[in-house]
Amino acid sequence: MLMIGFTAIFPILAILTLPIAAFVIFSIFTGDISIVNEDENSESNNISEEE
């Protein structure tokens, strides 16, 4: 019985996590989620421009 329940949870996990993963990847490509912090980038660019 435990194996049946353990196996049955995988389709439920797939239905829940695949749209979330697709949305995160889409958001990274469209720019809604930035991996690099933009504040640190602008500060380092300003320092290098001044020198």
pLDDT at residue number 17: 94
Confidence of residue 51 (pLDDT cuts 50, 70, 90): low
pLDDT one-digit tens code per residue, 1-17: 778 888 889 999 999 99
Backbone phi and psi for residue 2, each to the nearest 5 degrees, phi listed first: -65, -40
Confidence (pTM): 0.50
CA dist., res. 13 & res. 5, Å (int): 13
Residues 6+ apart with CB under 8 A from 33: 24, 27
Rg (CA), the chain: 21
